[in-house]
Structure formats: C-alpha cells, structure tokens
Amino acid sequence: KAGVTQTPRYLIKTRGQQVTLSCSPISGHRSVSWYQQTPGQGLQFLFEYFSETQRNKGNFPGRFSGRQFSNSRSEMNVSTLELGDSALYLCASSFARNNEQFFGPGTRLTVL
Amino acid sequence: LAKTTQPISMDSYEGQEVNITCSHNNIATNDYITWYQQFPSQGPRFIIQGYKTKVTNEVASLFIPADRKSSTLSLPRVSLSDTAVYYCLVGDNRAGANNLFFGTGTRLTVIP
C-alpha cells in the first residue's frame, strides 16, 4: 500500500508569512503525528491527531497549529514565520498511538 | 521536560554486534519504547518496539530492564548499510500531555 505522503517537499518563505503543510497518512491509519527536525534540537514532537481530534501537543508556541480531516489527512499551519522555524517537518501515521509509526519524507521549510 | 539521552556517536566494524542505549527516566506507564533508523534526507524508519523485557525481530533485539528507565537496541552483525542515525522514542508522564520524546540520536558509523 502507498506510504505517507507530504506536500510540498520543499518550501521557501519569508519572515512573517504563514505556511500550510499537508500530510496524507497510510490508508486505514487514524493517528497522525507531526515532528520538527533541526540540527540543533533534533526531532521534536509537535502534535498528534486521532479521529479529527488533537490528542497530544508538544511544547511549541501557538503559532503552530494543525487539524485533521474526516479522511485522516492532516495539515499543519505555522503563522508569523520566524527564521528559527526553518526545519524539516515530518509527518507520521499509525493505526493507534502506541503502534509503529510510518514516516513521510518530510517537508523542508526554509524561512528567509 | 523529560530527558531522553543517547550516546552521540558510535563506530563499529562490519560484522560486529552493536548495542545502543537510551536513558528515559520518566517513561509513562502505558508507553512503549520504539527505535527508529534514519538515513540522510529520509524520514525515520521503524526498527523495533517493546514494553518490557526482551523483544527480537529479524533485524534487531531490544532489551528493557524491569524498571524501564533505559533500553538497549542491539544490532547483530552490522553492515555498511547500517550506517545511520538511530533514535529511541518514548512518552513522558511528567509533561501531563503524554508528549512523545525522541532521544538525541546516535550516529552509527560502520567501518569496513
């Protein structure tokens, strides 16, 4: 079956703009989690959605938000972009929270 | 914030067994310990998952002591293609929101 897909793969924005990233989970998976990966901070958990509800949230400011649709597809939004938001944003899907997560290839966001 | 720590890097010769440890003093009661492998420009890939004692699959073993405050990923007879960054992922009961924490990652280099 098809893996997790993320769009776009690369994105360049300027400070102050906002951005929306998209994630399509593996068919049948209802849990979608988002992570930020940077060289300095490593992999950091952003939030997790299950059945259209945010179930868990990491320690990120309110500029980072997300949602999940009825077909389990998820989007994350970052408003008022800062230079420090430049990172690889990874989406992962799983059947349930403690199940194996399958990661997408990520969206590399560069903020200028 | 809970701390999940791993050695920053390890070197090993081909054919040797490699053991990578992860310390997670505040693991949540209901959370599992999962290990992932990541190659450059790719999302993490699942290796193995366990809750306690020992788990073995076709590629690795996972050893978890009774107190679950640490875990050890064991890779038997590594090859050059095992050169990657290895992460452990656990939950943090102190955060209250069941955040998921990746370890700092261990860069394994396999030497011919």
Give residue-wise pLDDT tens across range B44-81.
999 999 988 899 999 999 999 999 999 999 999 999 99
State residue B1's pLDDT score: 47
Q: Is A92 on the interface with B (CB under 8 A)?
A: yes
Region B84-99: what's the mean pLDDT?
70
State residue B98's pLDDT score: 56
Residue numbers in A near B31 (CB within 8 A): 98
> Looking at the predicted structure, is the pLDDT value of residue B93 above 60?
no
Of A35, A59, A90, the CB nearest to B1: A59
> Looking at the predicted structure, is the pLDDT value of residue B2 above 80?
no
Q: What is the mean pLDDT of each run of 10 residues along chain A (112 residues)?
A: 91 97 95 92 89 88 96 97 97 82 94 96
- Six token digits for residue A53: 């509800």
By the 8 A CB rule, do B50 and B32 touch?
yes
State residue B32's pLDDT score: 84
- Interchain pair A42, B97: CB under 8 A: no
State residue A26's pLDDT score: 95
State residue A107's pLDDT score: 97
Helix (H, G, I), strand (E, B) or coil at A55: strand
Q: Which residues lie below 8 Å from residue B36, measured CB to CB, with a gap of 6+?
A: A103, B44, B45, B46, B47, B86, B87, B88, B89, B102
Residue numbers in A near B100 (CB within 8 A): 33, 45, 48, 56, 58
